Structure 1
Amino acid sequence: MSIKENDVVFLLGAGCSFDAGIPTVNKMVEDIENSLLKNKDEWKGLQDLYFYIKSAILYADGIFGKFHNTVGIEKIMNVLSELEKKEKNLVYPFIANWNNRLIDLAGANFEGIRKLKKLITTQLINWIKLEDYRAADYYRHFYEFQKEVGKSIRVFTLNYDLCFEYAKPHGSELELGFDENRTWNSLRFDSNNQDIEAGIYLYKLHGSITWKRDKDQGHILKSSVHPEEEPDLIFGTDTKLQSIDPYLFYVYEFRKYTLESKIIIVIGYSFSDEYINNLIKQSLEHKPERVLIVVDIRQDEEKVKSEIQAALKLKSSSQIVIYSKSAKEFLENDLTVTEISKYLPKVEDAFL
């Protein structure tokens, strides 16, 4: 059975770039705690504040019985972004006083919060920016799969890195949404746009290290050739996700194409983003014939399936298929029309 346009949609998480040498969000936290806070002078003075923030996150999870939750870099940055707003935070009028310990560590004006956030942002770029992108060459198999399908495919990624861009083979078409002036335009994702020839439409749901806001032109989004010092990124369910393009548009597109798809392929995603999880859950419940293929390096297939079922709050795990291997192994060995088409519904009108 052939794969038609929009039959397959992809979602990529940090694990997809791990084989290229980019650390996962949890590994980034380990690097902060085991190296940066101990060895870098500019970090040492913020150690107590960092530990306070992380402890507060774990405490909040524990209140709801989530004792086994890990704290990734995105969750830490999301909390810092909310604290940075201080009195401008939406819930501030309902707070009697900031915690005295927080004020002691962050300073009366929360300058410590801003400094810690800036240090992590700078380090984030260092983690993500590869000196040699040949290690990400396995990403070219997305392009090969698209050529084999013969139709455009939609890829949504939670990653800020440039692996997808640098792995593009000569002659392949990748649409990122930026015009000849490097200005973002949603119309470039319209399949009916005759001016655009795209093999792959790439949606960077949380931004990119090469994105910036042009403050002199109404905060429009621009793309740079090289990583920005202060790139336009969001962390988890940041408020920008709900209010500013391209993030609002990308979420709408993710909803649209997951509901149109027959197969959702998830690679290297931890299922820790409730916003994304709800959209995947909605898609699976909308059509029982829809299949969720998950590529996860852990070898206990049943445990992984059970955890995903719990994260998505599904009544059954029957729609979930697990490939217990790395992203690199899956892309090199399994991402073919012959393999993926096995999961297409046997009855063609199941999605009518």
Structure 2
Amino acid sequence: MMNKNNNVFLFGAGAMIDWGGPTTQELTERIREEGFKVSNSEQKLTDYIYEQLIKVYDKDDVNFETIINVIEELSVYYSEFKKGKESPSLLRSFINDLEFEKLFDYSIKGGKRKTNYKLQIPKGKDYDSARYAFNNENPKQFYLQHELSCLLTSIVNRISEYAFHYCTFSEIKMDSEISINFKKWISTLEKNNAIRMYSLNYDRIFKVLLNEVSINCFEGFEMNENESYSQEFKCDILRILEDQNSNIFYNLHGSAFWKVDNRNKRINSPEILSANTPQFQGNSNISNIQIERGKPILVSNIITGFQKAQKSMIPPFKQMHFAFDRDCFKTNIIYIIGYSFSDEHINQCIKTALRHRKDLTLEIVDPSFIEKNLDQILNRTIFTYIENCSASPKILGNNKFTYYDNRVIVYTLKFCDYLKMKNNEEEL
């Protein structure tokens, strides 16, 4: 029997702006200044990639995720198809004139590739965050994975600036107007509904705020905030798969508070754990696995770039994504807040639910939805699955629009203003 009392929430980057979360532009500028320098230059490799990209693509199409994707794809390109035999990747079997590696400024410590070698970055200088190549990584691939670790560490550091939280200290604006309004809104909904929250961000602010009003949300890990800084928590995969009615908060793209643990380095079977404090990728051993043969990917606590779909096959990303897919079918409403609809593996869940659930409603909150012509774009993609309805918008009031006979309702408001409106409506 279908449970119609689940409210599903999808939070994108725009939902966190009022709590101090970074914009895409800010992260792009930050990433351009991070990582390793190009050989014989003061320019960062990331900035070089950015400059090459905007020669071909519009600036609006190039951001921090685009830059990271280039590095990830180069990591695959320079990897080996079969580890231990030093056979080139499939791409390098056909393309062998790519000289991008001339930009790489590194050397192998000791001068020779061998089991458990380390890199020096830049050439001839020991690198504080250097890790051992426990899984026979190709040096160029390994260099690029060190670069990725550095960039992911920078992103986590930015998240910790506004989302650090521990039982004795917190950077979260607990008593700000928007925090109070968020707690009030969710508290009202939670009286009659299970709260199923999914975030594409790397913080856990909403989980922490709801703790303040005694609403417990399962995060996928049995957390205890009163434990020590160093305490680590295993993921409850079975509960993620089976639990359909509890209040939950899942980070679909990982969390700054997760950690990649690979204690058995010889087997290379990393496990994602959770902790009470932010975890920096540069402090972890580098682990890569192959979801598809010949295409190694870096296992990290947060996932960005364009390999999200592949990395979402790793536990607990896979199980949380499954839960989101299932929840889209088990609700009458999905609140979509501050999401740009740029992740196709997320869009596919929404599209499929719209196609098969004739009573499903989307409530979208995005101040620039009309300005960016998102309605026209989504009419050609996600909303095509809504049958027998007009795509023309109707204006219901200031900053409120409806499409497809009220199956899609759009508020062109900031999240803070939307929360005020919702709470005011409740009081009337």
Cα pair 1:301 1:324 within 8 Å, conserved: no
Partner of 2:130: none
Query: What CA distance in whole angstroms lies between the structure 2 residues aligned with 1:46 and 1:27?
Result: 21
Query: What CA distance in whole angstroms lies between the structure 1 residues aligned with 2:410 and 2:277?
Result: 36
The correspondence of residues 143-292 of structure 1 with structure 2, limited to 5 A, is: 143-149=186-192, 151-168=193-210, 169-179=212-222, 182-189=233-240, 198=246, 200-216=247-263, 218-230=269-281, 232-235=301-304, 236-238=306-308, 240-292=310-362
Query: What CA distance in whole angstroms lies between the structure 1 residues aligned with 2:80 and 2:36?
Result: 31
TM-score, scaled to structure 1: 0.77
Distance 1:46 1:94, change over 3 A: farther
Partner of 1:53: 49
The correspondence of residues 12-27 of structure 1 with structure 2, limited to 5 A, is: 12-27=11-26
| 2:144 aligned to which of 103, 113, 125 | 113
Query: What CA distance in whole angstroms lies between the structure 2 residues aligned with 1:303 and 1:41?
Result: 38
Query: What CA distance in whole angstroms lies between the structure 1 residues aligned with 2:150 and 2:103?
Result: 16
Local SS of the residue matching 1:167: helix
Greater fraction of residues in strand: 2
User: Which amino acid counterpart does residue 72 of structure 1 have in structure 2?
Assistant: N
User: Which amino acid counterpart does residue 5 of structure 1 have in structure 2?
Assistant: N
Cα pair 1:183 1:223 within 8 Å, conserved: yes
More divergent stretch after superposition (218-227 vs 84-93): 84-93
Residue by residue, what CA displacement relative to the aligned partner does 1:29-67 show, whole Å, maximum 9, x if unpaired?
Answer: 13444xx36xx997995735324423555577x5xxxx5
The answer to whether 1:133 aligns with 2:202 is no
Query: What CA distance in whole angstroms lies between the structure 2 residues aligned with 1:93 and 1:127?
Result: 36
Local SS of the residue matching 1:228: coil
Cα pair 2:260 2:271 within 8 Å, conserved: yes
Cα pair 1:48 1:105 within 8 Å, conserved: no
Cα pair 2:36 2:45 within 8 Å, conserved: no
Local SS of the residue matching 1:17: helix
Residue by residue, what CA displacement relative to the aligned partner does 1:13-42 show, whole Å, maximum 9, x if unpaired?
Answer: 111111111112232113444xx36xx997
Cα pair 1:178 1:184 within 8 Å, conserved: yes
Distance 1:52 1:312, change over 3 A: farther
Cα pair 2:17 2:23 within 8 Å, conserved: yes
Residue by residue, what CA displacement relative to the aligned partner does 1:75-116 show, whole Å, maximum 9, x if unpaired?
Answer: 32233223223224765355412522x222235826763454
Cα pair 1:295 1:330 within 8 Å, conserved: yes
User: Which amino acid counterpart does residue 261 of structure 2 have in structure 1?
Assistant: D
Alpha-carbon distance, 1:249 to partner: 1.1
Cα pair 1:237 1:273 within 8 Å, conserved: no
The answer to whether 1:294 aligns with 2:385 is no
Alpha-carbon distance, 1:322 to partner: 1.0
Query: What CA distance in whole angstroms lies between the structure 1 residues aligned with 2:352 and 2:62?
Result: 26
Structure 2 spans left out of the alignment, 5+ residues? 82-88, 106-138, 163-170, 224-231, 282-299, 386-390, 392-402
Distance 1:208 1:41, change over 3 A: closer
Query: What CA distance in whole angstroms lies between the structure 1 residues aligned with 2:97 and 2:38?
Result: 24
Distance 1:91 1:155, change over 3 A: farther
Partner of 1:333: 421
Local SS of the residue matching 2:253: coil
Distance 1:171 1:71, change over 3 A: same
Query: What CA distance in whole angstroms lies between the structure 2 residues aligned with 1:192 and 1:49?
Result: 44
Aligned residues with identical type, % of pairs: 24
Cα pair 2:335 2:363 within 8 Å, conserved: yes
Cα pair 1:46 1:116 within 8 Å, conserved: no
More divergent stretch after superposition (279-288 vs 73-82): 73-82
Cα pair 2:15 2:338 within 8 Å, conserved: yes
Local SS of the residue matching 1:47: coil
Cα pair 1:174 1:201 within 8 Å, conserved: yes
Alpha-carbon distance, 1:120 to partner: 1.9
Cα pair 2:237 2:319 within 8 Å, conserved: yes
**Greater length-normalized contact order (CA 8 Å, ≥ 6 residues apart):** 1
For the pair shown, which has the larger CA radius of gyration, 1 or 2? 2
Distance 1:219 1:71, change over 3 A: same
More divergent stretch after superposition (262-271 vs 137-146): 137-146
Greater fraction of residues in helix: 1
User: Which amino acid counterpart does residue 102 of structure 2 have in structure 1?
Assistant: D
| 2:72 aligned to which of 81, 89, 93 | 81
Structure 1 spans left out of the alignment, 5+ residues? 340-352
Partner of 2:118: none
User: Alpha carbon RMSD of aligned pairs, Å?
Assistant: 3.5
The answer to whether 1:324 aligns with 2:412 is yes
